[in-house]
Structure 1
């Protein structure tokens, strides 16, 4: 599972510069992986043209698809060296995220790689609705690519959760670290672990006059430090690369990634559906709004995509 043998690269139709493809080729070069370059297109105006017969509409659709295929063939040419196998797939579909996830499931892909939009003025990333859907609903890891190159001897940050000690959480932590270590080996990078712990609840300090906020906070911090070092030790990571900071994960993780000038943040995402998806953006979604590097989102074991039933 941790082997990226089949990579699905989602192409960006708005630009010739494809950061996701460049990253996928880097990933593939070591283990002779297969790459499929994927584009999902849809033009509403063709669907609405009532003067066209079904047959003519089909022909127009095919024309657009073939045009796009030719454009992609030009883009992949420079990458088809060194024995890397790249195939292309252009699909007419009105919901890109659905067609991407469906293709990834049907083709047993190991990783979805997609570029994100950089917003030059603010140096922040603009995530499209497709990005959000992929992170919530794709059953396989999703790598959202922002920067152009990963330097040798860079840094990878694993956002782990050591506040809950249940099996599912521990397994997810293990998965996050294993993915990071695999990439660290290939790119000769350092793996760092980060964990945010909650500050002192204000109501406790108010309700209990003798409450010692400092001691409480220290106790929580030490508990988190002990657990993160235990986790690091289990995976052969130096305690010097463990970072425990007070605050919400969505503040702590981007701050540390910026401080370390990390190339990649790896975190777990819990797929939410229905009402909770609308109301509660999970940590991953808050985090990616403010990180300035690539992001690898991992699903917990046993996660079933709502699209797997379709």
Structure 2
């Protein structure tokens, strides 16, 4: 059974309550030897614009702010440390938090990144910040975005797989998603459910080809996905009643099923696209999460190389 040994927790300096830290401690309580690093990147442009001060004086002012935040974090983690948890704090001065976070992931070989998301008051969905988007796309380790709620015992995990693509990369990512779900389920005593969304019959095809039979086409597509799901659940020893194959777009199906199951966690893969391909093609994760009302764990494909990976000569 896999476990997380080296967890990086990104805190929100505007809040005293830290859901990400609570989630990390909860995971650590289920295993032994888990190290947690509480991380904060801070920056204040006004300290860089104070021309009346020397470089040394500006550096001293920045250091004073860092020390102040370190003491604040030490107060937050002290109750958890008193319970026996291995927790350190790290505060850095950096104007791009996501770059500082990913640099720390590489530097200290963290195997899980946990960060809290913002909850929309009206509909309860997750609201992601620009830093969140960068982390989902570029962080090399699994990224867990959490909301301010507890993970119940004997809860449900929804593992979202893509059975439409026939490639070794997608097959490997599907296996990784299911393995990750089963590992977390073992830790938490949760139930794993598999979900695959398949596309509906394109409307333009039925218009342009009068002889086209949409019902037969839809049955064939569904049959293919059911067969692929059967093979996947057999491979991972998952009961048939814990698998779902649903027609529709993933960004519509995943939040709906997660709500129906009352899932505490959704796990899916993200390709890590950046630049124009992210704008025009996008990722399932990015299309889904704005409507998701639970925690999200995003995984990268095997062999993914972050654009922020350090150069090694």
Q: TM-score, normalised by structure 2?
A: 0.96
Q: Distance in 1 between matches of 2:63 and 2:205?
A: 65
**What SS does the aligned partner of 1:83 have?**
coil
**Structure 2 unpaired stretches of 5+:** none
Q: TM-score, normalised by structure 1?
A: 0.97
Q: Distance in 2 between matches of 1:64 and 1:3?
A: 35
| 1:52 and 2:53 correspond | yes
> Is contact 1:115-1:146 (8 Å) kept?
yes
Report matched runs for 1:187-266 at 5 Å. Answer: 187-266=188-267
**What SS does the aligned partner of 2:48 have?**
helix
Equivalent residue, structure 2, for 1:302: 303
> Is contact 2:155-2:264 (8 Å) kept?
yes
Equivalent residue, structure 2, for 1:141: 142
Number of positions where the alignment pairs a residue of Structure 1 with one of Structure 2: 310
Question: Structure 1 residues 278 and 208 mapped into 2: Cα distance closer, same or farther (>3 Å)?
Answer: closer
**Structure 1 unpaired stretches of 5+:** none
Q: Distance in 2 between matches of 1:298 and 1:105?
A: 16
Report matched runs for 1:20-59 at 5 Å. Answer: 20-32=20-32, 33-59=34-60
| 1:6 and 2:15 correspond | no
> Is contact 1:159-1:253 (8 Å) kept?
yes
Question: Structure 1 residues 203 and 119 mapped into 2: Cα distance closer, same or farther (>3 Å)?
Answer: closer
- Bigger drift between 182-191 and 273-282 goes to 273-282
**Superposition deviation, residue 105 in structure 1:** 0.8
> Is contact 1:3-1:110 (8 Å) kept?
no
Q: Distance in 1 between matches of 2:182 and 2:200?
A: 30
Please give the root-mean-square deviation of Cα atoms over the aligned residues, in Å.
1.3
Equivalent residue, structure 1, for 2:18: 18
Q: Distance in 2 between matches of 1:189 and 1:165?
A: 30
Equivalent residue, structure 2, for 1:274: 275
Could you list the per-position Cα deviations for residues 62-106 of structure 1 after superposition, in whole angstroms to 9, with x for gaps in the alignment? 110011001101111111134220001000000000000010011
**Superposition deviation, residue 273 in structure 1:** 2.4
**What SS does the aligned partner of 2:70 have?**
helix
- Bigger drift between 27-36 and 68-77 goes to 27-36
